[in-house]
Structure formats: C-alpha cells, structure tokens
Amino acid sequence: MLQAALVSFFPFLMIYSAFSDLVSMTIPNKVSLALIAGFVAFAYWTGMSLETFAWHWALFAIVLVAAIALFASGHIGGGDAKLAAATVLWLGWEHALSYLFVASLIGAALTIVMMRLRGNIMPHRIEHVEWIARLYRADSGIPYGIALGAAAIVIYPETRWMESVFSLTVPGM
C-alpha cells in the first residue's frame, strides 16, 4: 500500500498542477499544501532521519524565498513559486539542481511553442474555448506549471522515495 502511494501521490499532484495551469493559468494552493503534508507523512512512514528531514526543509525555505523574489519582480507566477518550493521539498538537495535545470529546459521549449502558437491565427472553431483562446493571447503568461510538473516527473524516479519503493518490494530486506 505504501509503495502504491509513493508511486502515485507525488506524480498525480504534478500532473494535476500542470493541467490546472494549462486550463486556468493557476496552480491551486491546495496542491502545494498537499505536497507539503504528503512530504511530512511519507517522511515519517519511510523513516527519514530528522537531519535529512531538516535539510529538505532548509532547501524548501531557500527555494521559496528565491521564488518569491522572482514572483515579486514579475518573472513567475505565485503558484509557480509555491509549487517549485514544495517540489524541491520532495526531491531534496541531491536532485534540486537537476530538477530546476530540466524545468528550465522544458520551460524554454514551452515558451518557444507558445510564442509560435501566438504567431498564428486562432482557428475559428476553437476561439470560443476560453482556455485555448487564452493560450493564443500575447498578453497571457506561459503556463509554467507544465514545465515544473513535467520536470518533477522526470526526476522523481531517481529519488529516495523510489528507492524506498524498491526496498519495500524486495522480500527479506
């Protein structure tokens, strides 16, 4: 049961945040709060040491402060800032830079696709679909939650959480 929860909880929330950002340009606070609560619960259930737990929280604080600064300067959305911090809480120091790098690459590709899309005329048959029409508008932002969620899913299999899953499934260990 714990293995199934570890395999599905975090990826589900990453996918949910990506789709939410795509269709509404918002990442609900409940996603970041669920990630934080889930981290605490899974850290306890998998026996994470207090020292490791504290280091994860230190990373969370550093990324949150940096992301809030980016939000205050208008470079990212508030939901993106909270999601990035909650995500690195899960990934830890070992994977934070890889995550941020992959998110940057996916975000750059997403931005290029969005710029290309916005350079085209919107097909008449979809102009009444609000969320699609928003994607075509030049004054609309980039749904960067897609990049953050996708990068997290790429990095997650390398984390201690999946090590826990594999060690929990091996009989006698």
pLDDT, tens digit, for every residue of 95-154? 999 999 999 999 999 999 999 988 888 888 888 888 888 888 888 889 999 999 999 999
**Spans of all domains in the chain:** 2-168
Q: Are 39 and 56 contacting, i.e. CB atoms less than 8 angstroms apart?
A: yes
Q: What residues have CB less than 8 Å from 8, skipping those under 6 apart?
A: none
pTM of the complete model: 0.88
pLDDT, tens digit, for every residue of 113-125? 999 988 888 888 8
Whether residue 163 is predicted with pLDDT greater than 50 in this model: the reply is yes
Residue with the two structure tokens 């409940």:
30
Among residues 152, 153, 172, 163, which one has the least CA distance to residue 47?
163
**Amino acid sitting at position 19:** F
Q: How far apart are CA 10 and CA 87, in angstroms?
A: 9
